[in-house]
Structure 1
Amino acid sequence: SWVSFVRRAKAPELPVVLLEDVGALTGLSFALLGVGLTLITGNPLFDALGTVMIGVLLVCIAIVLGIETKSLLIGEGANPADHDRIVDAIEAGPEVEKIIHMKTLYLGPDELMVAAKVALSADKPLREAADDIDEIEARIRAVVPAARVIYIEPDVYRPAIDPQPSTDVFVLKSSD
């Protein structure tokens, strides 16, 4: 549907053109209706009402475009299905112990950046770690071809010792 197209479009010019054309045709219909009713009835109120309807239509289109293209201006991540495929691709090999952190960001309509911090074995030599990273990148590109820019940071997973922050408070009073 048109609504899903406007919501899912990665190229901002496509929903702009679609909504601009729909707005133009709808605005022409409002103008025709307003002027036609004014000519038929002789009441200029219909012309003014048609003009107001065109203005409201343009404001609505501007709001929809602003909401839908905001994510393209400030950055939009991969959709949930692609995100899950990327996670599965990273975790598919035996070399990854855990995904510590991952972010995705569309750089253009067909270019996705993937940045992930993954836990590898602590005793793995650098050459093997580099080969493992190459395999991870190949698996990601196989499942999500738009993932063209991939940054994999190897690390060693260290679980938090005390995940609960301390709530103890010490009050020291000094005497003068």
Structure 2
Amino acid sequence: MTAHSGSKKAVYAALIGNLLIVVTKFIAAWLTGSSAMLSEGIHSLVDSGNEVLLLYGIRRASRPADYTHPLGHGREIYFWSFVVAVLIFALGAGVSLYEGVNHILRPEPIRNVTISYVVLGASALFEAASWLVALRIFRREKGRLGYFAAIRQSKDPTTFTVLFEDSAALLGLLIAALGITAAYVLNAPFFDGLASIGVGLVLAGTAVLLARESKGLLIGERALPDVEASITAAAAGDPDVQRVNGLVSVHTGPDQVVVGLSIEFQDTLTVTAVEACVERIEAQLRHSRPEVTTIFIKPQSAETWQARQEMLMRTAPADPDTK
């Protein structure tokens, strides 16, 4: 299964779940007058739009390289993932916070609380089903890494975006249920507005996390250490290679990697022999690492490579957001 096929499955599951409940939440909010329920409806509506954007990004990112985009279009999925984070913050969190404050200032008693519980229960079932699909796909892709480390190192933002959205949705439903219950039992509509603010804060936190992860991918992150090690080993295995000095790699998509290799060839090789060696290395890498879409090989001595790396290390600024 490719990264995109697993991502699509998670996104489709989330989209179906959200479409099943978004209209119901809005109707329930209208019937009950609950600010928390209205915030949950807005939350599900924003999530539905986000899933559509992610599917659009996946389709755009799968286009092949062309004249104007010689390295492909893979980074489109990173761009749309960042847009999703912005929308969660601006629409989901912003509107929920506004509704919460407005409901506190202009309290309205909860009506038909039974409807609220039925809708919240059904929503929890749909969200949980979508969450389990996203979790199963993410666990398969993360391998032996821990969850936090896997999110930090993941090159496919769509899967953890859906996982974050569904986790925020389940937490939001719990907050909404607590707020509605407190408002009804204590006859204090204040708690309903407070729950709406809580949902908004959950969405804001989710948006910040997603934006941070998506930003690093959008700027450009190197391949994982095991991928770089296998690339180095494949190049070093050629008999005409004296030494692989190092490499530079960057993900241009979840399953698209551009690699630059610094190689010291055997001193006795002719230009024709070097060209033949480069072709063998490229063929070997494309066979063993299909995600390597573009390869640049530079003949270079170990001393020159080392001097270049030392210069980069001296001039590199401290970056607290480095992943």
Which of the five TM-score ranges fits, normalised by the shorter chain? 0.7 to 0.9
Distance across 1 between alignment mates of 2:171 and 2:163: 12
Q: Describe the superposition over 1:134-165 as per-residue Cα deviations: whole angstroms up to 9, x where unpaired.
A: 1112222233221121111223x2637xx8xx
Aligned counterpart, 1:20:
165
Distance across 2 between alignment mates of 1:150 and 1:126: 19
Deviates more, 1:50-59 or 1:2-11: 2-11
Distance across 2 between alignment mates of 1:121 and 1:107: 32
Match of 1:72 among 214, 217, 233: 217
Match of 2:249 among 88, 93, 104: 104
Match of 2:267 among 122, 125, 130: 122
Match of 1:159 among 292, 303, 306: 303
Task: State the number of aligned residues.
Answer: 160
- Cα displacement (A) at 1:8: 4.4
Match of 2:202 among 43, 53, 57: 57
Distance across 2 between alignment mates of 1:126 and 1:50: 71
- Cα displacement (A) at 1:31: 1.4
- Cα displacement (A) at 1:7: 3.7
**1:143 equivalent in alignment to 2:288:** yes
Deviates more, 1:138-147 or 1:122-131: 138-147
Distance across 2 between alignment mates of 1:159 and 1:117: 11
**Greater radius of gyration (CA):** 1
Distance across 2 between alignment mates of 1:6 and 1:22: 14
Distance across 1 between alignment mates of 2:207 and 2:302: 48
1:4-15 equivalences in 2 (<5 Å): 6-15=151-160
Distance across 1 between alignment mates of 2:258 and 2:251: 6
Counterpart of 1:97 in 2: which secondary structure?
Answer: strand
Q: Describe the superposition over 1:45-70 as per-residue Cα deviations: whole angstroms up to 9, x where unpaired.
A: 42233123212211220121122212
Distance across 1 between alignment mates of 2:244 and 2:157: 32
Q: Describe the superposition over 1:12-58 as per-residue Cα deviations: whole angstroms up to 9, x where unpaired.
A: 33322332232223212211220121011112342233123212211
Q: Describe the superposition over 1:80-99 as per-residue Cα deviations: whole angstroms up to 9, x where unpaired.
A: 11111111111112211222
- AA paired with 2:212? I
Higher relative contact order (CA 8 A, sep 6+): 2
- AA paired with 2:164? L
Distance across 1 between alignment mates of 2:286 and 2:167: 37
Give the TM-score taking structure 1 as reference length: 0.79
Kept after mapping to 1: 8 A contact 2:232/2:246: no
- Cα displacement (A) at 1:102: 1.1
**1:36 equivalent in alignment to 2:169:** no
- Cα displacement (A) at 1:127: 1.0
Counterpart of 2:166 in 1: which secondary structure?
Answer: helix
Deviates more, 1:141-150 or 1:16-25: 16-25
Distance 1:136 1:49, change over 3 A: same
- AA paired with 2:267? A
Counterpart of 1:78 in 2: which secondary structure?
Answer: coil
Match of 1:132 among 271, 277, 280: 277
Match of 1:90 among 235, 238, 247: 235
Aligned counterpart, 2:258:
113
Counterpart of 1:73 in 2: which secondary structure?
Answer: helix
Aligned counterpart, 1:174:
none
